[in-house]
Each structure stands twice: as C-alpha cells, then as structure tokens.
C-alpha cells in the first residue's frame, strides 16, 4: 500500500472510468503480459443483501420475545431420496474449500468450529484429510471435475455427497492451485508432480449434460446404498434453468453459489465479471423449485457473500433453506486480521486488503502450505473463533426472525422484505420500500 | 459355487446390495449377472476380492470405483466403465464407450475391442490395455498409470498429459498439447511386456511394434506464452 505524504490539491480530479486501481492494473498488465490471478472473491460493489430491509412486526404481525420465546434454527438437508438425511442445528454451513488451497490446520479448524455448532463442513478439490474427517461430525464430500483424491472409501465415510458443477467466483472455470502451494502431501493426494501449477478441468471427465448427470447420481447412490444425500452445486448464472435440470437429474439439495463467493485462485476478470449476485439468483432458484413442486423438498443452500445474520435471515426470507459461508469463515479464523498487518504490508498488502491466497504466503497460516506459517494457526483456537462467529450469525438471524414474528428462521418469507433500490427490488422480486412496486412483475407492467 | 442372478427378475439395486454385502465379509466368491440389458451402475462400489461375470452388455459406469473385484463383461460396456477404479481387474470382451477408466487410481482395465473417446481421461494410476483402437482425446490430462493401445489412436492423444505413459502399436492421428513421443527404453519394454502379459496379449503382440508417448512437461508451470490469445 502506498502512503501519500501529503494530500492531493483539490484541483486534481480522479477519473471515474480510469480510477487508480484501473490505472495500476493497466500498468501491471503492460509490465507482465499476463492476467492477474488472485483469491478472496469479488470486490466490486453489486446489489446485495444490504439493499434489502426486513419488516418487523407491529400491529399486523406479532413479534416474538427475544429471550423467552422459541425461534428454531435447525435444518434438514437431503430428505428427498437419502435414507440418512442430514439434520443440522443452525442455518449456516461451511462451504467446500480444499486442503491444498487451505492448510491442514485451517481445515481442522473449520471442522472443529462447525461441529461445535452442530453444522456441517465440506471437503474440496483434493480429497478428504484425516484431520478434517476426524474433527468433523458432519462432512460433505465433494465430487469435482478433477476427481483429485476421489476414493470410494471416502464416499462411504462421508455424510453427504456434493457434485460440483460450478463455483460462484468462477462459473464455467476450473480450479487453480499454483505450484508454491503444491507441497509433497498435496501433490501425493492429487497424484501430481510436486511444484507444478495445477489447473483443474472445468468439466467432469465422465459425463456431460443433465441426462448423464442423472445416471452419475444413480451410480453414486448405488455405491453408497442410497444412504447419503446428494447435493448439486452450481455457480449462479442461468440459475432458473440450471436448478430445474439439477432437480430433474435427481439432486436432493441445490447448493447455489453467487458471484460474491470466494476462491483460492482465479483470474480477476473471472471473479469480477462472470456470474450473477446471490440476490438475483435466489428468486430464480426458488421459482424453479416451486414450479417443479419441490420447494422445501429439494433444499436450497445458498452461498456467496454471506457475512452476518441479517444476510442469513434475508436469504432465508427469499426462500433458501440454509446458507453457507466460505470467506466469512476464513476471516473468522483470522484472515486479514490486524494482528498480521505488518506481515501483510511486507507482502505489499495490508490487513483488510489481502487477497493473494494463490501465493501461499498467507501470514495467518490459512491459505498456505508453508509449515512456518501454518503453525501460526492453532486449530483449537481457530475452531473456537469459527464457532463464535457461527453463533453470532445464528443469533442475529433469530433476532430478525423473532422481530418478524417467526418461530422458526425458515418461516421468514419474501413479504417480510422490502428493497432500498429499484435494482434490488427487481432482482429480489420484493417491493421497493414504501411502495407496492416490484419492478419486472407483470402486475405492474 | 456360482451365484447367478438375473436382472430380468431382480433390480440393479437389489443385485448391487447383495454384492455390497460381500464387502464386509466374503461369503460367496463367484457371481454371475445374466440379462444385464445394458443397465447402468452395475456392480459399482465393489470392495471385495470376488469374481463377477456379467453375461451381456452393460450400461454406464459398470464396475465404477471398483476395489479388489475381478469383473468380466461378456459384451460391450457403456460410458465410464471402471471409472475411478482403485484396484482389481475389469475386462470388457466387446467394445467400451467413451471415458473408459476415467480418473481410475489403480487396477487393470482390459478392453478387448475398441474404446471410444477420452479413454483413460485423467487416469491416476490405473493400467488400461485396449486390444483395438481408442477414440479422440484419449489420455487427456492423464496423471499416472499406463495406457496401452494395440490398435490405432485417434486425434489429440495425451492432451495436457502429466506423468502417465501411453503405448500405441498402430498409428496416432495426432498428439495433443504437450504430448510427445519418447524413446522406448529397456525399462519401457519390460513394463509393456508385463502389461501385455497381464492383459492376455503376450503371444499376440510384440513390444517392438509399439511406440511410447509421454509429457513434454511444458505446461507444468504457468507461463505467459501458454496463456496467449492464440491458445
């Protein structure tokens, strides 16, 4: 970060089109001849849950007492076909993040924190580690295009399976793991040479299209004797159609990841310009599920920019069954914490700005395989911090639900919401605050 | 004793359940599935040293994720036969559709006829021997293991190959990105001879008739030239 020694004269005007970041990026491109690859997630401003407000109860609705009246938070996932659906205690899960992208300590922390709060966590590209399985009560095992570390024993050891078609930060793209993070252990788990820049494929190797996916799901059900729920994860783009096809293929739950979702490493142009915000995607998914008569039977888990309990409550009000967090969980573990500010500055960044997950130099020991750095993260403490964060998310969501008179957070509904902007109203399909106007609906055209 | 089950009278679910019950303890070693009728997901998820014959054609993902079992398909196999196999042996007497042996980590897959496109895609340690030809993009992103093609290979063989070794006896329509012909070493000859022997082709083909292909390793690390707009 460059510090200016003196303020600019007021006569100087920064271009809104060629702002300082844009100019720096053009200079960087001209210097190197290659696009920027980074982690974290989208940094541009897009319509999000802050553009919605909740309508608390007054005369027309009864609120619930904050400390005395029950407001349940549990969620069932995978009730459609699996003999053993999952029952989690809070409406927040931990999204898939790989060992490789994250340190073993980080994965263990996620498992510990999620288990303390009775929710699930998810593997990632690269397979299942003993640390993760050992510290996680409910673990979802991802089936990704790369199939790195894919093992039928792990399929059977998992509590649910998640077929990953896409990720909100990069729908249509495969994963990346740069050579500096391919340690011996990571290389061995992925059957790759140590130190190479690993680029995962963007399509599955043995099926194409929804008809094939139906047969793939059938195979996974057969291998696991129809015990495990099977989720299908999609990056938010043509959400209405993708959800319908995934449901038709047999998904027990849809995991919908919006464009604000995180990534370990992807081209910045991908992160910032491909996909749609969760705010716009959830109503499309709910519409698809409702039209197929399976809303609440095929559960909808949404992720991509969930930060606080208000986001959770608003996502549920739009029709999601549950939310999922990735970047938020890493921040809870200590990512971008001011404690590491000096280290971040030595890397040319600062606490609050760090996004170079791909470099493997994370001072917080989370997105790195460097033993010196990973030793900075105590999994017990990390797990406790994550559990605290999950507890706050849940209590905040409960606070809003009670204020809206709901005895279960899943009873929140679209009519509990209004929008602050025309854009948000159109995307979320709720009225602009103070009006009955829902832009784009036929009643008002 | 051979236990014979017909898919005319039993469902795939029932038959797979019976086979999976052997995973915990092997009580019936020899199995035969009759009238398979091209059903999908037959005998997937086996984890026991049992012997199974499928008396006819199989659909998608037959013997998927196999461990230990010895499976013979007395017909042709659909997409993804022996996908992600870990160990054991799968033999297809007829032809195999696309993606045979996809991402498989171990064991031996023998296809006595031809294999379709993307045979051995992303293979991670399996050995595959194809008696006939393989379709385009075979060995795509193959990470480890050996693919032996006793016939011809279609275009883009071994595209974006990692450390798998590809042996081809006939012609290669074209090589994929970063795949190149290597010098056949004595170790390669020995390895190939062992694979042909294991597949039952010891007296059918001579190792001298084959060429070997591997990765040029030019795509292993991200470089500006690889990301250029012409790619």
Three-state secondary structure string covering chain A:
CCCCCCCCCCCCCCCCCCCHHHHHHHHHHHHHCCCCEEEEECCCCCCCHHHEEECCCCCCCCCCCCCCCCCECCEEECCCCCCCCEEECCCEEECECCECCECHHHHHHHHHHHHHCCCCEECCCCCCCHHHHHHCCCEEEEECCCCCCCCHHHHHHCCEEEEECCCCCCCCCCCEECHHHCCHHHHHHHCCCCCCCEECCCCCCCCCHHHHHHHHHHHHHHHCCCCCCEEEEEECCCHHHHHHHHHHHCCCEEEEECCCCEEEEEEHHHHHHCCCCHHHHHHHHHHHHHHCCCECCEEEEEECCCCCHHHHHHHHHCCCCEEEECHHHHHHHCCCCHHHHHHHHHCCCCCCCCCCHHHCCCCCCCCCCCHHHHCCCCHHHHHHHHHHHHHHHHHHHHHHHHHCCCCEHHHCCHHHEEECCHHHHHHHCCCECCCCCCCCCHHHC
Dump the DSSP string for B111-174. ESS-B-TTTTTT-EEEEEEESS-B-TTTTTT--EEEEEESS-B-SSBTTT--S-EEEESS-BS-
Any chain A CB within 8 A of the CB of B20? yes
**Counted domains in chain A:** 1
Q: Is residue A360 part of a domain?
A: no
Helix (H, G, I), strand (E, B) or coil at B193: helix
- b/e A131-155 (16+ beta carbons within 10 angstroms → b): bbbebbebbbbbbbbbbbbbbbebb
Any chain A CB within 8 A of the CB of B3? no
Assess whether pLDDT exceeds 70 at residue A201.
yes
pLDDT band at A445 (very low <50, low <70, confident <90, very high): very low
Q: Is-contact A369 A33, C-beta < 8 A?
A: no
A&B contacts, CB < 8 Å: 105
pLDDT of residue A110: 96
Nearest to A205 among B60, B122, B224 (CB): B122
Pull the structure tokens for residue A34: 């290659």
Question: How far is CA B89 from its chain centroid?
Answer: 10
CB atoms within 10 A of CB B11: 10
- In chain A, the residue whose alpha carbon lies closest to the alpha carbon of B17 is A225
Q: Is-contact A287 A247, C-beta < 8 A?
A: no
Nearest to B44 among A34, A190, A222 (CB): A222
The CATH number given to B2-219 is 2.160.20.60
β-partners of residue B2 are B30
pLDDT band at A174 (very low <50, low <70, confident <90, very high): confident
C-alpha distance from A195 to closest chain B C-alpha (Å): 8
d(CA A112, CA A387): 8
pLDDT band at B230 (very low <50, low <70, confident <90, very high): low
d(CA B70, CA B48): 9
- In chain B, the residue whose alpha carbon lies closest to the alpha carbon of A147 is B103
Any chain B CB within 8 A of the CB of A251? no
Q: Mean pLDDT in chain A?
A: 94
- In chain B, the residue whose alpha carbon lies closest to the alpha carbon of A225 is B17
Any chain B CB within 8 A of the CB of A205? yes
Pull the structure tokens for residue A93: 């899960």
- In chain A, the residue whose alpha carbon lies closest to the alpha carbon of B220 is A196
- In chain A, the residue whose alpha carbon lies closest to the alpha carbon of B161 is A192
Average pLDDT over residues A146-151: 94
Lowest mean pLDDT, pick from A275-279, A319-323, B118-122, B219-223:
B219-223
Whether A179 and B221 lie within 8 Å, measured CB to CB: yes
Whether A201 and B141 lie within 8 Å, measured CB to CB: yes
Among A38, A37, A36, A45, smallest CA distance to A305 is for A45
Average pLDDT over residues A157-185: 90
What are the backbone angles phi and psi of residue A194, rounded to the nearest 5°?
Answer: -65, 135
Assess whether pLDDT exceeds 70 at residue A2.
no
Average pLDDT over residues B4-23: 97
Q: Is-contact A233 A122, C-beta < 8 A?
A: no
C-alpha distance from A206 to closest chain B C-alpha (Å): 6
Percent of chain A with pLDDT over 90: 84
Q: Which residues contact A5 (CB under 8 A, 6 or more apart)?
A: none
Among B163, B162, B138, smallest CA distance to B150 is for B138
| CA A354 vs CA A95, A103, A335, A359: distances in Å | 20, 17, 8, 11
Among B173, B176, B171, smallest CA distance to B209 is for B171
pLDDT digits (tens, 9 = 90+) for B53-110: 999 999 999 999 999 999 999 999 999 999 999 999 999 999 999 999 999 999 999 9
d(CA A186, CA A175): 14
Assess whether pLDDT exceeds 60 at residue A386.
yes
Pull the structure tokens for residue B203: 């007296």
What are the backbone angles phi and psi of residue A20, rounded to the nearest 5°?
Answer: -60, -40
Any chain A CB within 8 A of the CB of B146? no
Nearest to B45 among A32, A207, A223 (CB): A223
Q: Which residues contact B114 (CB under 8 A, 6 or more apart)?
A: B95, B96, B130, B132, B133, B134, B135, B151
Nearest to B124 among A178, A191, A223 (CB): A191
Assess whether pLDDT exceeds 50 at residue A67.
yes
Assess whether pLDDT exceeds 50 at residue B47.
yes
Nearest to B122 among A147, A178, A199 (CB): A147
Question: How far is CA A265 from its chain centroid?
Answer: 14
Would you give the DSSP letter of residue B15? H
Any chain B CB within 8 A of the CB of A197? yes
Assess whether pLDDT exceeds 70 at residue A442.
no
Q: Is-contact A259 A275, C-beta < 8 A?
A: yes
Average pLDDT over residues B19-26: 94
Cα atoms in the Cβ-side hemisphere of radius 13 Å centred on A285: 36
Which structural domain range is residue A162 located in?
Answer: 51-334+377-411
Q: Is residue A435 part of a domain?
A: no
Q: Which chain B residues have a beta carbon less than 8 Å from that of A37?
A: 222
B 59-78 residues inside an 8 A Cβ radius of A: 59-61, 64-65, 67
Q: Is-contact B144 B158, C-beta < 8 A?
A: no
Would you give the DSSP letter of residue B45? T
pLDDT band at B196 (very low <50, low <70, confident <90, very high): very high
Any chain A CB within 8 A of the CB of B51? no
Assess whether pLDDT exceeds 50 at residue A444.
no
Q: Which residues contact B227 (CB under 8 A, 6 or more apart)?
A: A34, A35
Q: Domain ranges for chain B, please list them.
A: 2-219
Any chain B CB within 8 A of the CB of A152? yes
Q: Could you tell me the CATH number of the domain that includes residue A188?
A: 3.20.20.70
C-alpha distance from A319 to closest chain B C-alpha (Å): 34
Q: Is-contact A92 A116, C-beta < 8 A?
A: no
Q: Which residues contact A297 (CB under 8 A, 6 or more apart)?
A: A79, A80
pLDDT band at A34 (very low <50, low <70, confident <90, very high): confident
pLDDT digits (tens, 9 = 90+) for A297-307: 999 999 999 99
Whether B221 and A197 lie within 8 Å, measured CB to CB: yes
Q: Is residue A59 part of a domain?
A: yes
d(CA A343, CA A80): 48
pLDDT of residue A1: 44
Among A113, A78, A123, A69, smallest CA distance to A92 is for A113
């Amino acid at each position: 970060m460059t510090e200016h020694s003196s303020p600019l004269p007021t006569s100087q005007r920064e271009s809104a089109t060629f702002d300082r970041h844009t100019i720096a990026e053009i200079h960087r491109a001209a210097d190197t001849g290659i696009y920027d690859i980074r982690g974290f997630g989208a940094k541009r401003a897009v319509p999000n849950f802050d553009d919605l407000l909740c309508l608390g109860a007054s005369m027309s609705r009864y609120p619930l007492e904050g400390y005395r009246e029950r407001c349940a938070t549990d969620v069932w996932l995978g009730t459609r076909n699996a003999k053993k659906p999952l029952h989690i205690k809070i409406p927040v899960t931990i999204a898939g993040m790989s060992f490789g992208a994250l340190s073993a300590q980080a994965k263990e922390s996620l498992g510990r924190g999620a288990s303390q709060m009775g929710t699930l966590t998810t593997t990632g590209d690269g397979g299942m580690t003993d640390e993760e399985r050992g510290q996680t009560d409910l673990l979802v095992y991802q089936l990704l295009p790369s199939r790195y570390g894919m093992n039928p024993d792990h399929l059977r050891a998992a509590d649910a399976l998640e077929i990953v078609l896409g990720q909100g930060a990069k729908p249509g793209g495969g994963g990346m793991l740069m050579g500096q993070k391919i340690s011996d252990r990571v290389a061995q788990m992925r059957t790759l040479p140590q130190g190479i820049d690993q680029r995962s494929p963007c399509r599955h190797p043995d099926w194409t299209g929804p008809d094939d996916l139906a047969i793939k799901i059938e195979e996974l059900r057969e291998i696991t004797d129809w015990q495990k729920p099977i989720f299908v994860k999609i990056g938010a783009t043509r959400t209405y159609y993708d959800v319908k096809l995934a449901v038709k293929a047999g998904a027990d739950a849809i995991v919908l990841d919006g464009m604000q979702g995180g990534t370990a490493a992807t081209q910045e142009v991908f992160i910032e310009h491909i996909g749609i915000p969760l705010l716009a995607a959830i109503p499309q998914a709910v519409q698809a599920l409702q039209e197929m008569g399976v809303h609440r039977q095929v559960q909808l888990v949404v992720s991509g920019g969930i930060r606080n309990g208000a986001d959770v409550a608003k996502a549920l009000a739009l029709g999601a069954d549950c939310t999922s967090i990735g970047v938020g969980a890493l921040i809870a573990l200590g990512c971008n914490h001011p404690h590491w500010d000096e280290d971040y500055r030595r890397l040319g960044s600062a606490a609050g700005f760090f996004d170079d997950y791909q470099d493997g130099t994370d001072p917080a020991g989370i997105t790195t395989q460097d033993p010196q750095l990973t030793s900075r993260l105590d999994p017990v403490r990390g797990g406790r911090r994550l559990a605290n964060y999950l507890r706050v998310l849940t209590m905040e969501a409960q606070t809003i639900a009670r204020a809206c008179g709901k005895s279960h957070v899943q009873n929140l509904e679209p009519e509990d919401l209004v929008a602050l902007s025309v854009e948000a109203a159109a995307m979320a399909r709720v009225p602009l605050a103070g009006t009955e106007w829902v832009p784009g609906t036929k009643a008002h055209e | 004793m051979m236990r014979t089950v017909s898919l005319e009278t039993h469902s795939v679910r029932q038959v797979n359940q019976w086979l999976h019950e052997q995973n915990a303890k092997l009580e019936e070693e020899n199995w035969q599935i009759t009238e398979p009728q091209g059903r999908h997901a037959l005998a997937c998820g086996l984890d026991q040293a049992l012997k199974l014959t499928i008396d006819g054609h199989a659909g998608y993902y037959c013997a998927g994720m196999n461990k230990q079992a010895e499976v013979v398909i007395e017909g042709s196999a659909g997409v993804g036969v022996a996908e992600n196999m870990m160990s054991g042996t799968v033999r297809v007497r007829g032809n195999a559709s696309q993606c045979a042996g996809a991402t498989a980590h171990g064991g031996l897959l023998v296809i006595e006829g031809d294999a379709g496109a993307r045979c051995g895609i992303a293979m991670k340690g399996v050995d595959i021997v194809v008696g006939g030809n393989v379709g385009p993009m075979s060995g795509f992103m193959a990470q480890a293991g050996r693919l032996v093609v006793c016939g011809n290979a279609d275009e883009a063989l071994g595209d974006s190959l990692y450390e798998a070794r590809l042996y081809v006896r006939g012609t290669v329509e074209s090589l994929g990105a970063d795949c190149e012909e290597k010098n056949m070493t004595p170790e390669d000859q020995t390895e190939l001879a062992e694979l042909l022997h294991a597949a039952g082709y010891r007296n059918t083909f001579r190792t001298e008739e084959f060429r070997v292909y591997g990765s040029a390793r030019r795509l292993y690390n991200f470089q500006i030239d690889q990301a250029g707009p012409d790619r």
